[in-house]
């Protein structure tokens, strides 16, 4: 079986690059014939996956963290259309635990990821899609596999994506530190939420959407960020925008990576991807 591998050596603080020979040898036991591309900057993974699909590759594997995997996933689509509907996507998460790994019951680290891939089967998988805007007001469309959110959680993801110094002290410290800083900078946020059977203006800390069983599991945390008071809904679509009294842009993230800001529309894409998991 052949595969096209998109590999980010900078993932997990550079440990992925240092372990690449071992990762390659482990993957070769599953896919004896491989070609691979090493990313050196943002947005390259999506571009290279599109080129690989156009060249006829039918098995795409992303090796890296949340950002690499989400970029590679988005490479399967162009202007809302699947480039190769019969192609298969899989991933090896080389970082620490993430929502993506938790959704599919995969332990963190590349060794666990490769071991899981060796026994994985192909499934038609539901994706989420968000249309939002960039900081400059340009339209952005992103697909996501593990989940998306907006509000405080997305502000934390944006800060983590830019983190440099804090990451030197380990991913756990970086996550805790930037979560703390994001909470300090947080301002009261009110948004209009329009979904199936829901149309309201609410003060929020975060709203999270996870594709599951053909719909979104949506969780709304109130403005005080109280998990015990979280509200849950099932919906196929959510449209949301900040109210006029919201003091700062409201961040949006997909699969743990900053995607843009509100306003945004989220929708379910059923059976949109052949996923080996």
pTM: 0.92
Distance of CA 4 to the CA centre of its chain: 20
Q: Do 43 and 81 share a domain, yes or no? A: yes
Is residue 12 in some structural domain?
Answer: yes
CA dist 163 and 147 (Å) reads 21
Residue span of the structural domain in which 54 resides: 2-120
Is the residue at 192 inside a domain?
A: yes
- The answer to whether the CB of 238 falls within 8 A of the CB of 260 is no
Tokens at residue 242, please? 């900040």
Same domain for 83 and 149, yes or no, is: no
Cα 243 to Cα 55: distance, rounded to the nearest angstrom: 46
Angle at Cα 136 formed by Cα 251 and Cα 139, nearest 5°? 80
Report yes or no: 227 and 208 within 8 Å, Cβ to Cβ. Answer: no
**Residue 93 shares a structural domain with residue 145:** no
Q: What is the CA radius of gyration of the chain?
A: 18
Per-residue CA distances from 64 to 45, 47, 87 (Å): 11, 16, 20
pLDDT digits (tens, 9 = 90+) for 106-130: 988 999 999 999 999 999 999 999 9
- pLDDT > 90: what percent of the chain? 73
The answer to whether residue 277 is domain-embedded is: no
Contact 214, 237 (CB under 8 A): no
**Average pLDDT value over all residues in the chain:** 91
Would you state the pLDDT for residue 189? Answer: 94
The residue-averaged pLDDT of 58-76 equals 96
Residues with Cβ within 8 Å of residue 125, at least 6 apart in sequence? 145, 271, 272, 273, 274, 275, 277
Q: Are residues 40 and 104 in the same domain?
A: yes
């Amino acid at each position: 079986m052949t595969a096209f591998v998109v590999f980010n050596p900078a993932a997990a603080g550079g440990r992925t690059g240092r372990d690449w020979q071992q990762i390659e040898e482990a993957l070769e036991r599953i896919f004896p014939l491989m070609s691979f591309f090493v990313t050196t900057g943002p947005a390259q993974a999506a571009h290279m996956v599109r080129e690989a699909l156009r060249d006829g590759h039918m098995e795409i594997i992303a090796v890296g963290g949340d950002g690499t995997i989400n970029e590679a996933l988005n490479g399967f689509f162009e202007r809302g259309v699947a480039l190769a509907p019969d192609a298969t996507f899989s991933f090896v998460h080389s970082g620490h635990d993430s929502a993506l790994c938790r959704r599919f019951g995969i332990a963190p680290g590349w060794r666990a990821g490769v071991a899981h891939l060796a026994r994985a089967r192909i499934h038609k998988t539901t994706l989420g899609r968000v249309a939002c805007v960039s900081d400059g007001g340009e339209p952005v469309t992103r697909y996501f596999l593990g989940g998306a959110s907006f509000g405080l959680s997305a502000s934390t993801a944006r800060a983590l994506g830019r983190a440099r110094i804090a990451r030197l002290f380990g991913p756990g410290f970086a996550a805790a530190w930037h979560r703390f800083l994001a909470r300090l900078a947080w301002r009261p946020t009110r948004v209009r939420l329009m979904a199936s059977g829901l149309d309201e203006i609410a003060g929020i800390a975060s709203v999270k959407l996870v594709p599951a069983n053909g719909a979104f599991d949506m969780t709304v945390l109130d403005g005080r960020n109280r998990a015990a008071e979280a509200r849950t809904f099932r919906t196929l679509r959510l449209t949301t925008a900040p109210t006029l009294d919201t003091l700062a842009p409201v961040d949006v993230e997909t699969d743990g990576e900053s995607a843009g800001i509100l306003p945004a529309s989220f929708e379910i894409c059923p059976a949109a991807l052949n996923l080996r998991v």
